[in-house]
Structure formats: C-alpha cells, structure tokens
Structure 1
Amino acid sequence: MNKPKINTMEELSTAIGVSRPTLSRYFQDPDSVRSSTSEKIRRGLERVEYIPNFFATRMNRKTTGLIGVIFPHLKDLFFTSLLEAIETAAMEADLTIITQSSHGDPAIETRAVEQLLSMNADGVIVAPLGENSDVDALSRVAGRLPFVFIDSRLRDALPDVDFVGTDNRQSVSLITDYLCRTGSPPVFLGMPRLNSNSFEREAAYIAEMKHLGHDPVIVSTNIKGDGWAFEAYAHEVMDDLFSRGHLTESTILCANDRLAIGAIRAASRHGLFSRGREGRRILRIAGHDDHPSSRFMTPALTTAAQDTEAIGRGAVRILTERLRKSSGASDKPVFQLHEAVLRVRESA
C-alpha cells in the first residue's frame, strides 16, 4: 500500500490533525510536547511519506547541530580515514557533518569556511593548507565558533585554536630508531613545505639521528614540489637520483606514505628491490601515516601508523565540550597529541 506523499509542514499538520507549531516543537524535541500528542504524531507519521526539512526543524533552535569539516583533499585516503572517525563520533553525539575539500587552494579554503559561517554551523574542524592558508579568514571563524585544527596547524598563527594530531616527535623517533637498529641509518625525504607536519617531522628526524649518534642526511633536490601531489613529487625526485646511481643501496625514510609510494614506484622502475645473499633488502624505504593502501603495495610499506580513530574522535569531543561548556569555563586551548605505532612490513 502506497503512503500519501506529504511535501510541507502545513500539509502534514492537516493530515495528522495537530497544529504546525506543535509539529515544529515535536521535530525539535519530541519530549517538548505532551506524551499523548507525541504518540499521535508518531502514529500519523507512520501513515504518510514525509521527510522533515533539516534546516526548517532547526530554525528556532539555539544550535543547528551542524559541524563543518574542511580537508585539503578528499582523494587522499588518509583524510578519508580521519573523516570516517569524525563522522562516527559526530553521529554518536547527534551531530551532522558537512564536509568540504579545499583542493589545495587557499581561495577555496576561505570560501569553505565562509560558507560554514553562513550556514550557522555550530563548529568547524579543519586540516589547514598551512603555509598557504588565509590566516584572516580562519581567524574570523575561530573568533565566532568552536574551532579545531586536526592533523596539522598553522606554525606562526592562531596559537589559541584547539589542535588534535599525532606526536611527530614520538612517531618519527620511533621509526628512525627501528631503521637504525635493523640496517643502515636512514636518509630523510621530506614533503614540500606545506604545513606544520613537514617542518616537525624533519626536525624530529634530525634530533633522533643526533641522539642515536648518526649524521642526519636530508635528500637534496632541485625539483620543486609546491603542491599536494606527493606521489608524483617523490617519484620524480627519486627517479632522478636512482638514474644517477644515488641512494640505490640506502635506507630512505619518507615524511609520509604518499611520498613513499612514489619512491617505491621509482625504485621498482629501476629494479632496485632485489635481495642480498641473506634475503634482506639492499634498498629500504619506510613511511609515516599508515595510508590505507600501504599494506597492499609491493613491497608492503613499513610505516609509523597514526591513530586516526583517536584523532578524529578527539576533535569531535573537543567541539562538543566547547558547545556544552558552562559560562565561565576555561577558554584555555586544548593541545592533544596521540602516539603512533610501528607497522613493520616488507619494505624495510
């Protein structure tokens, strides 16, 4: 039996036999109307086909229940993993996520934050572009809404914004120590200077190498990498070096897994993943992040795995606490770092 389709609140009011204001109160909070009326509305909704307008049911609320999420690139599966953790935590908190990608473009990032303001979002979670971000635009949002940086932050701006990410010092030290214990000390392939992670991970590598008594070596290149195409950048850099016979029997620690993917592709092109007499790899490549594809590569990638579940949930938890805080509560920024774990696979 087909149910009659109801398009507006007025039509629904007539069909069920309750006033439109009562319906509005019910959709905002079923407990705000008498139990007998609530039951009448519930039974009436079972007889018709009606989907409440999300924004209309929230017009008179103090909050919209909307949380904005802005990531540099949604095609990056690391950010997709973070988004999944954020969405799950948000659903449990009865919040709705609106996701936007800045596509690596500061103008699009700015437009995204302004759109979220115009939609009266309750809070915003941003993985910023970093060095290219429009600080003024992000400051406007931070001044009006609960705001959390996730994964990376601005190095020299907005220090009072909450942040949730990985402890780069711990994670890079962890994998650097492992590589030094199991083979030749690693050289470091950094990412283009885009965000705080690029600086922090290189600094952590240098500090740990010195702590272990080794000379840190940063892969030097004239190839410019000023965008988010990390795989292509690393492939071009390492293909150039391998073709000239450099680093062909080295251990290479990449600042993230996407760089490692490009480096492994270049190494495979040059046939460098042969094994020595004892079955150990002559060339070793490791990464950072535990990108969802890293364990399915050939060879599978050894990496420092970020806790995306804890990071995503932590960002949502901070926002909800900000939204629910009582007057006079502390405005001291939250700086939450999570440790990584080592994933040892075939590549190193």
Structure 2
Amino acid sequence: MTPRRRATLRDIAAALDLSVNTVSRALAGKDAVSEETRERVRREAERLGYVPNTMARSLVLRNAMAIGLVITNPSNPFYARLISAIEERGRVHGYSLMLMVTEDSVDNERRVAEELMRWGVDGVLAVPVQHGADHWDRLRRSGTPVVLLNRDLPGLDADLVGVDYYDSARRATGLLLDGGARDLYLVEEDLDISPVAERVRGFRTVLDERGVTVGDDHIIRVPTRRRESSSQPWDPVDSYAIGRELAARVGPGSAVLAGNDYFALGVYRAFTEHGLAVPGDVAVAGHGDHPFAAYLNPPLTTVRLPAAEVGATAVDRLLERMGGEGGEAATGAPRTTLLPAEVVVRASTGSTGSTGTEVP
C-alpha cells in the first residue's frame, strides 16, 4: 500500500480556491482574514489531516521551540523522573523535547552534541560524561545555551542544576552513626563522576568529624555493568556478589551505605543468605528511594532525590539563558544550584519511624 502524501498548505488552498498566503494567515489566526474564511480553512485542514511542518517553521523563524535533553543512562530511575519533569515543564512553555542517550560514552556524547547543533534546538540540558568539554563549548559558542544536570564539568562556562550529594551522604552517614554503628562501609559505583565523588566526600567528612576511622577497603566500588556497549549500573547482580564477600567481614555494630537502592537490594540478599539480620546485625541505607525500597523486608532507609525539582529548575534556568517568553537572554557568570535531598527513615536502620520521616 502506497503511503498517503502529507497534506500541505497548497492542498488546502487549491481545495478552497484561496491563496496559500491566505490559508497560512487563517491557520495562524492572523488579522485581515474573515471569521468565515478562517472556519472554512480550519474545516478543510481537518478533513485533509493537515499537520503544520514544525521543522520548516523553525527554519523560517529561526526558533525550533525544542529543547535537547542528553542523559547518560535511561535505566537510572532518577533520570526517568527527571525526563518526565523536564518534558512537563517545557510543554508548559510551548517547547518539545528531543531526548538523546550517550550511555556514558564520550564518543557518543560528541556525536550527540554535533547532531543537536545541526538540528538547531533552542537550548540543551545535559548530563555530561565528564570527559572533555570541547564539544559542549562549541555548541554553547554557536549560540545554543547549555545547562548541566546533576554532574559538573570543569572548564565549561555553563550553569549546573543538580542534587547536593555531599549533604545527602553526610546526613545518611550521620543517621547510621547516631543509630550506634561504628564500622561503616560505603558501596559505590566505580564511575569517575561528581555525584560519586561527592557522596564519598560526605561519607568521609562525617566519619572524620565523629572520630571514626575506616580504611580505604571500607569504600567498595561496584563495577559498572556493560552489555552490548551499554552502561547499566542499575542492577543488583554485582552488588550481590560484593555483598557476599562483605558478609564475611561485617560484625555487630556494622552499617552499609549504598550509592543507590539497587546496590542495597543486592547487599540485602547476600546478607540474608549469610544469616545476617538487617538491621539486627547490620544496618543498611540506600540512595534514590526507588519504588521497591518501601516494600523490602525490612523497608529500606534511603535518600529521596529531588528529581522533579531538579528538572523544573533546570528548564527555568535554560529559559532564562535562552531569553524565553519574549524576554532578554540572561547573561552573567554561570550559577550552580544544588538542591537538598531528604533522608527517608525506615526499619533497615533500626528505626520504627514511618515512611517519609525526614532527617534534618
């Protein structure tokens, strides 16, 4: 079956014996077109299934009404919530979303930056791979504002909106210490990225402040899984293997802080199989407050990340840089906005507090 050709303004004009200019003005709601003609054009456009060609319009107006969003890994639940928030906020302001995925590959990221430049999006929100800023700088210097999400990128003159992971790790570690833990372990990703570095820094800082000494072997790195050239760290398999090794080391008064809830899930199973009780023998806390966290046995204490707030704030910051809503594009030095997370206390750290208890 031969696909039907897309209806054009010329088709509507021919059917109604009007000029293309008149049809265009009628559909755009411009003046100098009678209400009767406007209604005739609308009905014929509906009959023909006419859809405006947004790309052609953007070439004429030099305004694509589109925002590029670049993320590293769609399997990360935080980014799933972030995408929804950005799409919703952009739609309110009339912008469509162009989603690109890099899988934490700098080669993919360079290709994505070039494609976004060719497409002519109005602005870009990007979770950077953090290995080179030249491609983002070329995009920015071409006139396309760039706002970084969740990871910093030294050397790039751009705003950053993300989570205060240093503070979240500090508070989660403090909670474990307040619960009586004296032998603490941090289970983290092996990626060289700023959120991981900030959580490690927060963990170490609190231990130093409280006079608790732990060795380097207490910060355990979970290998980032790679299947079919894709980065998939959000899987409990590797943390389960590490948890089995860790189970032989931990004793009474131990606690584990995991960099994400999937890592905590793997550790849970390993400890249970080894005969360790959570939290009776080992307290466990995570990061992310993923949907399953409240349904584990026992329910998992975790850090609830402000994904929606990060997304909405980033869109607003990008619109300022773009000069959206008819205003002047914001200038000046780039700003960093790190939003606070919430520690949700549940039974895995020995607390009987209800879900949603916030640790200040």
Question: The TM-score by the shorter chain falls in which range?
Answer: 0.7 to 0.9
Secondary structure of 1:284's partner?
Answer: strand
Partner residue, 1:241: 246
C-alpha displacement of 1:293: 3.5
In 1, the alpha carbon distance for the partners of 2:145 and 2:133 equals 16
Secondary structure of 1:60's partner?
Answer: helix
C-alpha displacement of 1:22: 4.3
What do residues 245-290 of structure 1 show as CA deviations (whole Å, max 9, x unaligned)? 1125420012232322332233234342x36xxxx53212111222
> Structure 1: 5+ residue runs without aligned partners?
none
C-alpha displacement of 1:171: 1.3
Q: Structure 1 pair 62/157, CA: closer, same or farther in 2 (3 Å)?
A: same
Secondary structure of 2:265's partner?
Answer: helix
Partner residue, 2:263: 259
Partner residue, 1:76: 76
C-alpha displacement of 1:332: 1.6
Q: Residue 174 of structure 1 contacts residue 304 of structure 1 at CA under 8 Å; is this kept in 2?
A: no
Q: Structure 1 pair 113/311, CA: closer, same or farther in 2 (3 Å)?
A: same
Partner residue, 1:330: 331
Partner residue, 1:316: 315
1:66 paired to 2:66: yes
What do residues 43-66 of structure 1 show as CA deviations (whole Å, max 9, x unaligned)? 433444222223123221131011
Q: Structure 1 pair 128/298, CA: closer, same or farther in 2 (3 Å)?
A: farther
In 1, the alpha carbon distance for the partners of 2:205 and 2:6 equals 65
What do residues 186-226 of structure 1 show as CA deviations (whole Å, max 9, x unaligned)? 32223213311111111111112222332245545897725
In 2, the alpha carbon distance for the partners of 1:189 and 1:222 equals 5
Question: Once superposed, what is the RMSD of the aligned Cα atoms?
Answer: 2.7
TM-score by length of 2: 0.82
Q: Structure 1 pair 8/341, CA: closer, same or farther in 2 (3 Å)?
A: same
Partner residue, 1:343: 344
Partner residue, 2:353: none
Q: Residue 67 of structure 2 contacts residue 98 of structure 2 at CA under 8 Å; is this kept in 1?
A: yes
Q: Residue 150 of structure 2 contacts residue 161 of structure 2 at CA under 8 Å; is this kept in 1?
A: yes
In 1, the alpha carbon distance for the partners of 2:25 and 2:122 equals 20
In 2, the alpha carbon distance for the partners of 1:182 and 1:223 equals 24
Secondary structure of 1:69's partner?
Answer: strand
1:305 paired to 2:304: yes
In 1, the alpha carbon distance for the partners of 2:30 and 2:292 equals 46
Secondary structure of 1:188's partner?
Answer: strand
In 2, the alpha carbon distance for the partners of 1:220 and 1:211 equals 17
What do residues 310-347 of structure 1 show as CA deviations (whole Å, max 9, x unaligned)? 10001111111111176684232121111111111232
Q: Structure 1 pair 45/328, CA: closer, same or farther in 2 (3 Å)?
A: closer
Give, as a single letter, the amino acid of the residue that structure 1 aligns with 2:305.
Q
Give, as a single letter, the amino acid of the residue that structure 1 aligns with 2:240.
H
In 1, the alpha carbon distance for the partners of 2:311 and 2:105 equals 23
C-alpha displacement of 1:170: 2.0
Q: Which residue, out of 161, 170, 173, partners 1:176?
A: 173
Q: Residue 187 of structure 1 contacts residue 217 of structure 1 at CA under 8 Å; is this kept in 2?
A: no
Partner residue, 2:147: 148
Partner residue, 2:358: none
Count of matched residue pairs: 333
Q: Residue 290 of structure 1 contacts residue 306 of structure 1 at CA under 8 Å; is this kept in 2?
A: yes
Q: Structure 1 pair 35/75, CA: closer, same or farther in 2 (3 Å)?
A: farther
In 1, the alpha carbon distance for the partners of 2:72 and 2:295 equals 24
Partner residue, 1:110: 110
In 2, the alpha carbon distance for the partners of 1:190 and 1:107 equals 25
Q: Residue 300 of structure 1 contacts residue 347 of structure 1 at CA under 8 Å; is this kept in 2?
A: yes
Q: Residue 202 of structure 1 contacts residue 255 of structure 1 at CA under 8 Å; is this kept in 2?
A: no
Q: Structure 1 pair 224/47, CA: closer, same or farther in 2 (3 Å)?
A: closer
In 2, the alpha carbon distance for the partners of 1:161 and 1:26 equals 41
